[in-house]
Structures are given as C-alpha cells and as structure tokens.
C-alpha cells in the first residue's frame, strides 16, 4: 500500500481519523492506494499583465496542485474554504460510481462549502485512466481554482511507446478584475460576463503579453526524445487552438480515453476537454514557442466579442541558452471551422479487449436542441438595457435549486425541488425557466442528438462544448447544419471516440450514447461558464438499480444548505 505523501503545507487535523480508516479500506482493495490531499482555498497575491491582484486558488498555486493517482486508487481531498465565496470542487470526468455525493456540482450534487467551512471529497477512481482535471464548480471561480487530475494505468503501461517524460499543459483564462464581480456584472446586464484579458499556459500569459513574461512556462527537452503532453482546456469561455512551432503531434487520448494514433500539427480543445499528444523533440536544437488562442466561429462583429490574445510558453532544447530567439507557430484564424472540425471529427477510439463497447439497443432516444436567445430584462437585472440573453435546452432554461441540492432532494424525497418533465424533443413552445430533469432507469441506454441551434451575431459565442457528469459517452456522429435522421446509417458503432465533453459547433450537431450505470443526479451543460447561469443545462436522474447498484447515503460532513 502506498500513500501519497502530503506536503508540509498540507497539514491535516483529521490525519488521526484517516490512519484508522485506511487499513480497513486497503484490505478490501488489495494493492490500491489511498491518495490524500488537502486543498486550502484562499486569496493569493499575483502580479499579472502589469497589475497586482488577489485571486483565489488552492494552496497558493496557479494552476492548483496536480493530483496523480493510479486506476483503482481512492482519492481523499480535504477542502478548507478560506475564501469569502461558497465553493464546491468538481472532479471533471470522474465516473463517481456510487459516490455521486462527491461530484462537486454546486446545487446539483451538493450545497456549496461555505466560507470557513470544510468538506472531504472521497471517491474511488475506477475503470478510467488518462488526463482529467478538477475545478471549482461555483460562480466563475474556476478561472483560478483548477488543476490536473492524472490517472496512471494500474498495470500494463500505456498502449503507445512510453514517453521520456510527461508535460502537463493547462490552458487557462485570465481576467484583471475579480471574476466573481465579472460574473455578477454579467448577470446584472443580462449579457453575461465581459471578455477576458488573456489566456494562460500553466498560469502565465507568456512573454508576448504586456508584462506577462515573468512567470512564463518554459520546459527543457532533449533532442531525439519523445514527450507526452497532457493538454487540458481549463479556459472559462473559449475553445482553443494549440500549436508548437516546428513540432508535430500524435494524439493518443482525449478526455482520458485512448484514441487511435492521430497525427496532426494543430490541436483543438474545448473547455472541459483534454488531449494527450506525443511530441518528438525532432527539430533543430533551439527555442520554440508553444501558443494557444481562441477558436471562435462567430467573429463577424467588430471589435470581436471575444479575447483575441495568444498565450505563449517555451520549449527549450537542452544546452540552448535562455536568451536564444524563439520561433512562433502560425495559429489558425479564429474562425477556422474547417481545421477545428477536421480535428474534432477525425478522432476514433482505440478498441482494446475488455473495453466497453457501443450498446446496440437504445432505451431513450432524445433530441436536445440548445442555444441562446434574446429575452426581456428581468427586474433584478438592474443594468440591463433593451434585452438580456437567455440560454436553454429544449426550451427549458435551467434554474438551479436554491434550498437543497437535487441529489439530496432525490435521496430524501424532498418534494417541489425539481420536475421530471424534461422533454425528449424540442417541442415548439416559448422558453421557460425550470428545474426539469430527465428520469431514466439504472442501466438504460440513452442516446442524445445534441443540436446547436444558434448562430447569433448579436449574442456572441455560439459554439457549445456540452459536458456530461458521471459518464463517458460514445460520439457516434457529428456534423454541421441540422441533424437529419438519415444520418443514423453513418453512425460509427465500431470505434467511436469516447469523451465526457463534445464540442458542438455553431449550427452543428453531435450524437452521443451512454449507459446510465450510475444512480444519481448528473448534470449535462455547456462548459462555457458564461452560458451556465443563463440556463444552458439539464440533468439526468438515474434511479437505483438492483442492490448493490445503489446510491449510498451522503457522507457525514456533507455541506449543510443555507
Ligand atoms: Cu467541468 Cu459541470 O463541469
């Protein structure tokens, strides 16, 4: 049994309790380990883009601590909230099999951890390996509260040649203003948050941004070696292009699911998604920029309604001095839908013996249409002029419950918190605000045609990366325009890519299929944070199966609702 060695800064008052607990857990799990962290969420001074500001981070790190486990391990994260904001932490892409209470979706699976309160997330990481991440799931705080969550294979190694080293690349998004204020302003105007001031690579905008150079990420490579880049799009509101000057990649995984090797020199990654790519250090020894900037199909208006800056970092060959000039990669134009689609659509899943296969019969076949629309100003939108923006799925604009989380309401049978009437079809009707969920039985197979309705110059961003909590799904087909049922004959049922987040382009569609093998309340939403408070979300309610496939009772320290 191995235990992750807590850092000195991770002093933990409950260590005693854990020491008592661990032996019991370990006998049940043979060689699996318990990996334990403590995250102190609090203010951190930082100087970025010629400004000194205070942001909220975990353990005074931006990005936050990397969590590394092996498949089969149990992860224990004590979260101490030293910030003035109620928070929750989500383990993005983790199945949370029978541990839905630890999913961290604010008001969906828990009430938030109040300022000066604490909560311990405990869950087992089973049946998945690769690159995932964790992030705050309340307000826009995930702009600075996020980190990598890396799951190593328990045995047998990777299904590709072992890399010399692994390099996590966390792409982020930066605002000079306090992000909670940015979000509140967006709610008052009814138009969503103002655009960001920079993108970041491993926390820094890089030296192409004004005063951005100080903390620029720089990594040394050796000629002839191969590196595994674990690329995570932790940006709040933007899909991103990513390139490294003079270097090409072989994609080997996405969203912690292996893919067939896919050669490319540009990577496209939507918020919530991850891409694992092998990169050979095969260029002439030198310094090379890696760079990221927005992929945004709605670029018609002037000035563009999105952040047009590029984040940079540097790859330096061993022996090359720090001051050597670096080559900059040519990034695709912002609106390069063709490059994005070619990347997103050409990945296929690596099929290995024992992996889940595409279920052939479907119990629930849904069409979910989503987008943004203009709405009248609400009374509480005190800075709203003329109109506000409303988002919806099948004409239901998702409302978060206020008194109790959906999961607790399900477990305790609390009435009048949600309705089980989420429509399976975008029936023509006026959009209304509702907390409506779609109920499915344990182990039902659910297929969803995700139809992005909108291309709206007036309303800005129209790409929608749709993320499903609690499950991976197979992406059976993707396209532009309106989904045509005749496309069913083109579904890839053999080796589709497996993901937890699919980027559905402006006016495009994707078909996903998953088995609802996990009882609980599972959020499905647009992973652009600006669209979440506008209502671009719904929830799958998955009922208990035959024992032991049950949702257990909540943990003893489950946060109280206020
Ligand atoms: Cu990474 Cu509900 O999201």
C-alpha 504 – ligand 1 centre gap (Å):
16
* Ligand 1 atom with the shortest distance to the CA of 133: 1
What distance in Å separates the CA atoms of residue 208 and residue 214, rounded to the nearest whole number?
A: 11
- Decide if 503 contacts 347 (C-beta within 8 A): no
Q: Is 464 in the pocket of ligand 1 (CB under 6 A)?
A: no
Q: How confident is the model at residue 298 (pLDDT cuts 50, 70, 90)?
A: low
Structure tokens at 154: 């328990």
* Ligand 1 atom with the shortest distance to the CA of 501: 1
State whether 121 and 185 are in the same domain: no
Q: Is 124 in the pocket of ligand 1 (CB under 6 A)?
A: no
C-alpha 500 – ligand 1 centre gap (Å):
10
72, part of any domain:
yes
- For the segment 418-460, what is each residue's pLDDT rounded down to a tens digit? 999 999 999 888 999 999 999 999 999 999 999 998 755 455 5
pLDDT at 302: 56
Domain that holds residue 524: 364-542
* Ligand 1 atom with the shortest distance to the CA of 92: 1
C-alpha 110 – ligand 1 centre gap (Å):
14
pLDDT at 372 over 50: yes
pLDDT at 31: 79
446, part of any domain:
yes
Q: How confident is the model at residue 462 (pLDDT cuts 50, 70, 90)?
A: confident
Q: Which residues are CB-neighbours of 410 under 8 A, at least 6 positions away?
A: 520, 521, 541, 551
* Ligand 1 atom with the shortest distance to the CA of 271: 1
Among 285, 315, 346, the domain boundary falls at 346
Strand pairing category for 287-295 and 34-48? unpaired
- For the segment 523-532, what is each residue's pLDDT rounded down to a tens digit? 999 999 989 9
In 81-145, which residue ranges form alpha helices assigned H by DSSP? Answer: none
State whether 140 and 177 are in the same domain: no
State whether 143 and 190 are in the same domain: no
State whether 191 and 328 are in the same domain: yes
Q: Which residues are CB-neighbours of 205 under 8 A, at least 6 positions away?
A: 48, 49, 174, 198, 199, 212, 309, 311, 312
C-alpha 103 – ligand 1 centre gap (Å):
9
CATH code at position 99: 2.60.40.420
pLDDT at 1: 34
- Decide if 278 contacts 246 (C-beta within 8 A): no
- Residue 185 has a CB neighbour count (10 Å cut-off) of 15
pLDDT at 522: 98
231, part of any domain:
yes
488, part of any domain:
yes
- For the segment 85-142, what is each residue's pLDDT rounded down to a tens digit? 999 999 999 999 999 999 999 999 999 999 999 999 999 999 999 999 999 999 899 9
507, part of any domain:
yes
What distance in Å separates the CA atoms of residue 262 and residue 345, rounded to the nearest whole number?
A: 11
State whether 69 and 96 are in the same domain: yes
Q: How confident is the model at residue 22 (pLDDT cuts 50, 70, 90)?
A: very low
Which protein residue's CA is at the shortest distance from atom 3 of ligand 1? Answer: 92
State whether 340 and 226 are in the same domain: yes
C-alpha 360 – ligand 1 centre gap (Å):
28
pLDDT at 52 over 90: yes
Q: What is the dihedral of CA 126, 127, 131, 135, to 10 degrees?
A: -40
Q: Is 230 in the pocket of ligand 1 (CB under 6 A)?
A: no
Among 312, 346, 380, the domain boundary falls at 346
- Decide if 272 contacts 472 (C-beta within 8 A): no
Which protein residue's CA is at the shortest distance from atom 1 of ligand 1? Answer: 92
Q: How far from 421 is each of 434, 440, 466, 516, 518, CA to CA, in Å?
A: 10, 12, 20, 18, 20
* Ligand 1 atom with the shortest distance to the CA of 142: 1
C-alpha 242 – ligand 1 centre gap (Å):
22
State whether 328 and 382 are in the same domain: no
State whether 406 and 452 are in the same domain: yes
443, part of any domain:
yes
- For the segment 316-327, what is each residue's pLDDT rounded down to a tens digit? 999 999 999 999
Rg, C-alpha atoms of the chain: 22
- Decide if 195 contacts 100 (C-beta within 8 A): no
Residue for token pair 């563009």 = 304
C-alpha 469 – ligand 1 centre gap (Å):
7
Q: Is 39 in the pocket of ligand 1 (CB under 6 A)?
A: no
Q: How would you classify residue 72: left for phi > 0, otherwise alpha for psi between -120 and 50, otherwise beta?
A: left
pLDDT at 18: 40
pLDDT at 15 over 50: no
pLDDT at 5: 39
- For the segment 463-519, what is each residue's pLDDT rounded down to a tens digit? 899 999 999 999 999 999 899 999 999 999 999 999 999 999 888 999 999 999 999
pLDDT at 17: 38
What distance in Å separates the CA atoms of residue 107 and residue 98, rounded to the nearest whole number?
A: 18
Q: Is 142 in the pocket of ligand 1 (CB under 6 A)?
A: no
pLDDT at 210: 85
Q: Is the omega angle on the peptide bond into residue 303 within 30 degrees of 0, that is, cis?
A: yes
C-alpha 136 – ligand 1 centre gap (Å):
9
Global pTM reads 0.93
State whether 433 and 537 are in the same domain: yes
Q: Is 469 in the pocket of ligand 1 (CB under 6 A)?
A: yes
202, part of any domain:
yes
Q: Is 146 in the pocket of ligand 1 (CB under 6 A)?
A: no
- Decide if 465 contacts 271 (C-beta within 8 A): yes
C-alpha 94 – ligand 1 centre gap (Å):
10
Average pLDDT over residues 179-198: 92
Q: Is 92 in the pocket of ligand 1 (CB under 6 A)?
A: yes
Q: Is the omega angle on the peptide bond into residue 516 within 30 degrees of 0, that is, cis?
A: no
- Decide if 306 contacts 202 (C-beta within 8 A): no
pLDDT at 205 over 90: yes
Structure tokens at 90: 């989500």
What distance in Å separates the CA atoms of residue 317 and residue 321, rounded to the nearest whole number?
A: 9
| DSSP E strand boundaries for 20-113 | 34-48, 51-58, 67-70, 74-81, 89-92
Q: Is 90 in the pocket of ligand 1 (CB under 6 A)?
A: yes
351, part of any domain:
no
- For the segment 343-362, what is each residue's pLDDT rounded down to a tens digit? 999 999 999 999 999 999 99
Residue for token pair 């994260």 = 77
Our count of domains for the chain comes to 3
Mean of the per-residue pLDDT values for the chain?
Answer: 92
Q: How confident is the model at residue 20 (pLDDT cuts 50, 70, 90)?
A: very low
Q: Which residues are CB-neighbours of 440 under 8 A, at least 6 positions away?
A: 363, 364, 446, 516, 540, 541, 542, 543
Residue for token pair 């720089």 = 218
State whether 100 and 248 are in the same domain: no
Q: With CA atoms as reference, report the closest residue to 407 among 552, 526, 546, 515.
A: 552
What distance in Å separates the CA atoms of residue 74 and residue 25, rounded to the nearest whole number?
A: 9
State whether 232 and 275 are in the same domain: yes
Q: Is 523 in the pocket of ligand 1 (CB under 6 A)?
A: yes
State whether 386 and 480 are in the same domain: yes
pLDDT at 11: 38
- Decide if 189 contacts 381 (C-beta within 8 A): yes
C-alpha 537 – ligand 1 centre gap (Å):
11
C-alpha 239 – ligand 1 centre gap (Å):
15
Surface-to-core class of residue 532, CB atoms within 10 Å of its CB (0-12 exposed, 13-18 middle, 19+ buried)? buried
């Amino acid at each position: 049994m191995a235990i992750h060695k807590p850092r000195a800064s991770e002093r933990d008052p409950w260590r005693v309790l854990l020491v008592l607990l661990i032996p019991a857990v370990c006998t049940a799990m043979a060689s699996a380990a318990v990996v334990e962290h403590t995250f102190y969420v609090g203010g951190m001074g930082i100087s970025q883009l010629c400004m000194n500001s205070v942001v909220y981070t975990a353990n005074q790190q931006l990005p936050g601590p990397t969590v590394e486990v092996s498949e089969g391990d149990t992860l224990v994260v004590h979260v101490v909230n030293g910030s003035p904001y109620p928070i929750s932490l989500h383990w993005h892409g983790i199945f949370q099999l029978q541990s839905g209470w630890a999913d961290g979706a604010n008001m969906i699976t828990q009430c938030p951890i109040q300022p000066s309160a604490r909560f311990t997330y405990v869950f087992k990481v089973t049946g998945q390996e690769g690159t995932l991440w964790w992030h705050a799931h309340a307000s826009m705080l995930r702009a600075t509260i996020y980190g990598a969550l890396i799951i190593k294979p328990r045995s047998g190694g990777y299904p590709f040649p072992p890399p010399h080293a692994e390099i996590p690349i966390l792409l982020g998004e930066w605002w000079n203003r306090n992000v909670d204020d940015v979000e509140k302003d967006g709610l008052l105007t009814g138009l969503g948050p103002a655009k960001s001031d920079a993108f970041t690579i491993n926390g820094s905008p890089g030296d192409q941004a004004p005063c951005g150079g100080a903390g620029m990420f720089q990594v040394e490579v050796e000629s002839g070696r191969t590196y595994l880049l674990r690329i995570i799009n932790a940006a709040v509101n933007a899909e991103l292009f990513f390139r490294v000057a003079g270097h090409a990649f072989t994609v080997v995984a996405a969203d912690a699911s292996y893919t067939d090797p896919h050669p490319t020199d540009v990577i496209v990654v939507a918020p919530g998604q991850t891409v694992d790519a092998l990169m050979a250090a095969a260029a002439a020894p030198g310094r090379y920029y890696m760079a990221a900037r927005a992929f945004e199909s709605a670029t018609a208006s002037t000035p563009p309604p999105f952040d047009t800056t590029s984040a940079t970092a540097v790859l330096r060959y061993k022996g090359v001095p720090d001051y050597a000039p670096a080559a900059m990669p040519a990034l695709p134009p912002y609106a390069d839908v063709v490059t994005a689609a070619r990347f997103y659509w050409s990945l296929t899943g690596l099929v290995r013996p024992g992996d889940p296969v595409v279920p052939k019969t479907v119990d629930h076949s849904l069409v979910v249409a989503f987008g943004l629309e203009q709405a009248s100003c609400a009374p509480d939108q005190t800075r709203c002029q003329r109109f506000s923006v409303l988002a919806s799925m099948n004409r239901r604009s998702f409302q978060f419950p206020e008194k109790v989380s959906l999961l607790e309401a399900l477990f305790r049978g609390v009435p009048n918190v949600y309705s089980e009437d989420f429509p399976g079809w975008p029936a023509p009707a006026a959009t209304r605000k509702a907390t409506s969920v779609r109920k499915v039985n344990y182990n039902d197979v659910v297929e969803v045609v995700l139809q992005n309705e909108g291309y709206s110059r007036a309303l800005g961003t129209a790409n929608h990366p749709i993320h499903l909590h609690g499950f991976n799904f197979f992406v059976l087909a993707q396209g532009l325009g309106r989904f045509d049922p005749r496309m069913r004959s083109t579904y890839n049922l053999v080796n589709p890519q497996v993901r937890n987040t699919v980027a559905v382009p402006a006016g495009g569609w994707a078909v996903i299929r998953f088995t609802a093998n996990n009882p609980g309340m599972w959020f499905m939403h647009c992973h652009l944070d600006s669209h979440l408070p506008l209502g671009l979300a719904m929830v799958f309610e998955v009922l208990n199966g035959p024992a032991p496939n049950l949702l257990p009772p909540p943990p003893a320290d489950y946060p109280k609702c206020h």
